[in-house]
Amino acid sequence: MALVTRVLDPEPVSALADYVAAGGGVGLTAARALAADAIVTAIKDSGLRGRGGAGFPTGRKWQTVLDNASPTQAPAVVVNAAEGEPGCFKDRSILRANPYRVIEGALIAAHTVGAGRIVIALKRTFTREHDLLVAAVAECAAAGWITGPTIEVFAGPAEYLYGEETALLEAIDGRYPFPRVTPPFRRGLDEHAIDRSGADVDTARIDDPAADAARPSAAGVELAAPDGEATGAPALVDNVETMANVPGIIANGADWFRSVGTDQSPGTIVCTVSGRTRRAGVAEFELGTPLREVIETVGGGVARGRSIKAVMVGVSTGLLTAHALDTPLTYEAFAAAGSGLGTAGFIVFDDATDLVSVGAGVSHFLAVESCGQCRPCKQDGGALADVLVKIGRSEGSDADLVTATALLDSVIDRARCNLASQQQAVIGSVLALFAGDVASHTTHGAAAVEREPIAGIKDIVDGVAILDPDEVGKQPDWSHHLVDSQQSPAERLDDPRMGHTDL
């Protein structure tokens, strides 16, 4: 059994004094006696990789923020607590169990990069975590932990896209959660956006503030550039679980951190299991634990007489078939299996599941959540979702499959964030791995299936994952009106007649 407790406390820690009595705060005290370079070296040596989905090396990110310090402005540290990936409930579980560890990690990060401001950004629907964090920050302040930077708990919109790093920064800065164009693309020859009429506009004059201000999409915020040209300060954005790992590394050392896991994937990972398992839940495992063990331990397997047909890792990467259940939980093994570790939110499907229905559900979710700043992502993503519904109803033909394949190619055209690639990765893998399910509809007239409901987890109560009903009923224009306006969120919300609407 490779269950461990490093960042997910088994029992809730409800007072700072209890956390300190159990060893909390040692990392912060140690960090404050160290120079920034020594801390970054420890994080680099630990091999910690970001737990927000991409697995980016955390030490390298911190180094980049240090290297791009602004001469005029202190950087900000932002904790990404927006957790919206379908199948995931680990960040809220960590915060519910112990908000102090996450605050300690953020304070160490702020000390390292010289931040003047820490923002813990979650969704305003996460009221329980919000209240816990506000109370915990007050306790930390009263205990003298917060010397230097301010800490605020920012309650942002409920949108899935808000969790994307630059959309998060946009929202904290008072705008809609629309991803920015980031380097190196921002510094490329041609940058594209759409204006209010839907036409492509050339935004190559990116250094012109007037042109930036007139842009219909996400703000032209000055970004720190690797060549040091820009004077704007960078923001260090890290996921809740990433931050929760930091105090242990500083208190106990990189070798301690590496004492579990593998060379490329050291440490632990907090997994969520849901779907057709007997129960849903969250638990922390050593990296390297086989996926099958995680599903058995947390989910109790699938119902008697059924077997696992597929496992979907959030809605970000390729699915795994039953043959891949022994894949160890590492970034390298999941990549080799044609998938990704993502945020370790495993949605399990049994052999009674029609994967066309799952594909249609995922495609619909991503098309709805797309902001529409990049037209192919919104339009081709929506068309893809429609084709999959048609195929699921056994009203489609091989020609529709050809259309789906073409849409999978075009959906990522000029995409400024990863959401469009998620359509490609998930739906591409459904079509490739579950061709039998597809053919049962296109050539054998199988019984019609509708879209599998795909949405973020609102809560897990008594082993049952409750999907967010607001997401299930959301329109592609991000309204909850009975009829969709046919405008993309970027068009609708940027429309001056709308005024500024709270999402």
Ligand X SMILES: Cc1cc2nc3c(=O)[nH]c(=O)nc-3n(C[C@H](O)[C@H](O)[C@H](O)COP(=O)(O)O)c2cc1C
| Options 165, 400, 452, 468; binder of ligand X; rule CB under 6 A | 165
Query: Which span (125-133, 275-283, 338-346, 371-379) binds ligand SF4, by CB under 6 A?
Result: 371-379
State the nearest-atom distance from the C-beta of 24 to ligand SF4, in Å.
38
State the nearest-atom distance from the C-beta of 86 to ligand X, in Å.
11
Q: Under rule CB under 6 A, which residues in 140-199 are in contact with ligand SF4? A: 161, 179
Which of ligand SF4, ligand X, none has residue 284 at its interface (CB below 5 to 8 Å by kind)?
Answer: none
Q: x/- binding map, residues 418-437, to ligand SF4, per CB under 6 A?
A: -xx-----------------
CA-only gyration radius of the chain, Å = 23
Question: How far apart (Å, rounded) are the C-alpha atoms in residues 258 and 45?
Answer: 9
Residue nearest to ligand SF4 (CB): 377
Q: In 47-98, which ranges are continuous DSSP H helix?
A: 58-67, 90-97
| Options 182, 252, 410, 418; binder of ligand X; rule CB under 6 A | 418
- Judged on CB neighbours under 10 Å (0-12, 13-18, 19+), 397 is middle
| Options 53, 157, 359, 489; binder of ligand X; rule CB under 6 A | 53
CA 346 to chain centre: 14
Question: How far apart (Å, rounded) are the C-alpha atoms in residues 52 and 242?
Answer: 7
- Judged on CB neighbours under 10 Å (0-12, 13-18, 19+), 16 is buried
Instruction: Between 167 and 235, name the residue whose CB sits nearer to ligand SF4.
Output: 167
Contact between 170 and 219 (Cβ < 8 Å):
yes
Under the binding rule (CB under 6 A), the answer on residue 250 touching ligand SF4 is: no
Residue positions counted in the chain: 503
Contact between 104 and 24 (Cβ < 8 Å):
yes
Contact between 114 and 36 (Cβ < 8 Å):
yes
State the nearest-atom distance from the C-beta of 196 to ligand SF4, in Å.
15
Question: How far apart (Å, rounded) are the C-alpha atoms in residues 195 and 193?
Answer: 7
| Options 372, 396, 428, 456; binder of ligand SF4; rule CB under 6 A | 372
State the nearest-atom distance from the C-beta of 33 to ligand X, in Å.
25
Which of ligand SF4, ligand X, none has residue 378 at its interface (CB below 5 to 8 Å by kind)?
Answer: ligand SF4
Report the alpha-carbon angle 348-353-355, nearest 5: 90
Which of ligand X, ligand SF4, none has residue 361 at its interface (CB below 5 to 8 Å by kind)?
Answer: none
Cβ contacts of 92 within 8 Å, gap of 6 or more: 81, 83, 126, 128, 129
| Options 46, 63, 68, 80; binder of ligand X; rule CB under 6 A | 80
Under the binding rule (CB under 6 A), the answer on residue 239 touching ligand X is: yes
| Options 237, 250, 427, 490; binder of ligand X; rule CB under 6 A | 237
| Options 4, 30, 83, 367; binder of ligand X; rule CB under 6 A | 83
Question: How far apart (Å, rounded) are the C-alpha atoms in residues 61 and 74?
Answer: 16
Under the binding rule (CB under 6 A), the answer on residue 494 touching ligand X is: no
Nearest to 362 by CA among 318, 415, 402, 325: 318
Under the binding rule (CB under 6 A), the answer on residue 377 touching ligand SF4 is: yes
Element (H, E) at 118: strand 117-123
Instruction: Between 158 and 449, name the residue whose CB sits nearer to ligand X.
Output: 158
| Options 113, 161, 387, 388; binder of ligand X; rule CB under 6 A | 161
Instruction: Between 246 and 425, name the residue whose CB sits nearer to ligand SF4.
Output: 425
Instruction: Between 160 and 334, name the residue whose CB sits nearer to ligand SF4.
Output: 160
Question: How far apart (Å, rounded) are the C-alpha atoms in residues 292 and 279?
Answer: 15
Contact between 268 and 286 (Cβ < 8 Å):
yes
Say how many Å lie between the first and final Cα of the chain, rounded.
Answer: 44
Positions touching ligand X (CB under 6 A) are 50-54, 56, 61, 80, 82-85, 161, 163-165, 237-239, 242, 417-419
Contact residues toward ligand SF4 (CB under 6 A) are 161, 179, 370-374, 377-378, 415-417, 419-420
